[in-house]
Amino acid sequence: MRFSRMLIPTMKEAPSDAVLTSHILLLRAGFIQSSGGSGLYNFLPLGKITLDKVRAIVKDELDRAGCNEVHLPMVTPITLWEETGRADKFGKELLRFKDRHDNDFTLSPTNEEAMVNLVRQTVKSYKQLPLNIYQINWKFRDEVRPRFGLMRGREFLMKDAYSFHASVEDMEREFELMEATYKKIFTRLGLAFRVVEADSGAIGGAGSKEFMVLADSGEDTIMVCDGCDFGANLEVIAEDETICPKCGGGLSQTKGIEAGHIFQLGTTYSEAMKAEFLNENQKLQPFVMGTYGIGVSRLLAGIIEQNHDEKGCVWTKESAPFTVNIIVAKAKNEEQMAVATKLYNELEAKGIDVLLDDRMDKKTGFGVKVKDFELIGIPYAVVIGNDISEGKVEIITRDGLLKETLLLDGLLENLLERLA
């Protein structure tokens, strides 16, 4: 993409009401903007690209694990929620409204009921099990107090998966598979995280684990072991506990952002909604379920909370909206522009996502382009400037802002090697 053709409204100053680093940087770098209501945000081109990248990684790993992507309406009839009693339990977080026939509906904050409904009218035999179906779409929760930008918005992109099994053992197997799958997803995103034992909360069910992105600004306090990978939510382990129950190592407190949560659900919902199948013994039996969520839009905030410096965002390799930012120092210089365009085309041909900063309006000098690069946080910049006459370009690695001068000769190969 050419910078000059994209809507990227970077700002020197952020709105004064943004306090969290990720919120400030995502606004300043032009990824998102307020849409006017509390907890509601417009995703601008850079934000949309980044969101799609994270979403694609989530989808890729789930599909590899055998999950099926579906799409359910974001509007569900309240009657579905009344079947499980959650119409009352959820209370005001459910945004309710009526259609023209005066029937009650809600914007879905989660979809256990809708998924169980889908399965109960489709799956009749144990031979169709196990089954894991998921969707990645927008959820709405009328939060008591939306805050911190994408961290706790009212409308947010969430992946919600639901698995259906003939036995508790098989559900537990799937639970472990999802834990492993989540670890792959978070690792690919380049995040430092902990899997912690957690309370099951309003969803209900037996066991649950939270995936916490480690960040000082996290809203959750967790206990982690210095010696192994054990971690636990404060609700689950006593705060004054100092010895790791798993390895005997020392426990310490830290902060985390809840970005994923997996539950062993059991038959709570299937029983309430009479979702049953015929088992091997020709007996009707409620589905044994698991449910698994990932806050996709929240992950964007989490990635920035964990990866930024005083200059701006530092996107990780797989989350970055672009991999390379070609800065044409003086875009009116024909030689510079020609070299930049050639490199741009070559990288694109190799499947690399490149942003060509070709802006040539007189207000957008070299300094502005570098500042924007630093603010936006694309992993690498290739600066094509005066040194081009000597056959040299500069490469800046965003993480650490390391600058290197390279020969134009062999540049493409050099870059491809770094990006591999």
Q: Rule CB under 7 A: which residues touch RNA?
A: 10-17, 19-20, 37-39, 109-110, 139, 141, 143-148, 152, 156, 158, 160, 201-203, 219-220, 261, 263, 291, 293-295, 311, 329-330, 332, 362-363, 365-368, 370-372, 374-375, 383-388, 394, 396, 403
**Cα distances (Å, whole numbers) of residue 113 to 72, 203, 269:** 11, 11, 7
What span, in angstroms and rounded, lies between the C-alpha atoms of 403 and 381?
9
Nearer of residues 93 and 170 to RNA, judged by Cβ: 93
Query: Which tokens in the block code for residue 414?
Result: 């050099």
| Residue placing its CB nearer to RNA in the complex, 21 or 117 | 21
Distances (CA, A) of 207 to 71, 85, 395: 27, 21, 49
Question: Residue 148 Cβ, how far from RNA at the closest point, in Å?
Answer: 5
How many other CB atoms sit within 10 Å of the CB of residue 378? Answer: 25
* Shortest reach from residue 37's CB to RNA, in Å: 4
Strand boundaries in 63-122, DSSP class E: 68-69, 75-77, 95-98, 104-107
Taking the least distance from each CB to RNA, the nearer of 55 and 152 is 152
CB of 265 to RNA, least distance (A): 9
The pairing of beta strand 68-69 with beta strand 131-140: parallel
Task: Work out how close the CB of 130 gets to RNA at its nearest, in angstroms, rounded to a whole number.
Answer: 20
* Nearest approach, Cβ of residue 167 and RNA (Å): 23
How far apart, in whole angstroms, are the C-alpha atoms of residue 178 and residue 174?
6
Instruction: Report the residue number, 7 or 202, with the smaller CB distance to RNA.
Output: 202
Tokens representing 165?
């099994």
Q: How far is the C-alpha of 395 from the C-alpha of 19, rounded, in Å?
A: 33
Q: Cα 236 to chain center, whole Å?
A: 25
CA-to-CA distance for 109 and 126, rounded, in angstroms?
30
Largest CA distance in the chain: 81
Give the three-class secondary structure for 411: helix
Q: How far is the CB of 393 from RNA (least distance, A)?
A: 8
Nearer to RNA among residue 38 and residue 125 (C-beta)? 38
Nearer to RNA, 190 or 365 (CB): 365
Q: Are 104 and 77 in contact (CB under 8 A)?
A: yes
CB of 272 to RNA, least distance (A): 15
Which CB sits closer to RNA, 177 or 370? 370
d(CA 396, CA 309): 15
Nearer of residues 367 and 400 to RNA, judged by Cβ:
367
Listed as own residue / partner, the contacts of 212-215 with beta carbons closer than 8 Å and 24 or more positions apart are 212/256, 212/257, 212/258, 212/259, 213/186, 213/256, 213/257, 213/259, 213/299, 213/302, 213/303, 213/305, 213/306, 214/254, 214/255, 214/256, 214/306, 215/255, 215/256, 215/257, 215/302, 215/305, 215/306
* Encoded tokens for 322: 């672009």
Cα(4)–Cα(181) distance, rounded to whole angstroms?
Answer: 39
Smaller CB separation from RNA, 285 or 341: 341
Considering the complex, what minimum distance in angstroms separates the CB of residue 54 from RNA?
13
| 75-77: strand order across its sheet | 75-77, 104-107, 95-98
Nearer to RNA, 307 or 372 (CB): 372
Minimum Å distance from CB 61 to RNA?
16
- Minimum CB–partner distance for residue 50 and RNA (Å): 18
CB nearer RNA, residue 126 or residue 366:
366
Question: What contacts 173, CB < 8 A, 6 or more positions away?
Answer: none
For the CB of residue 258, give the shortest distance to RNA in the complex, in Å.
Answer: 8
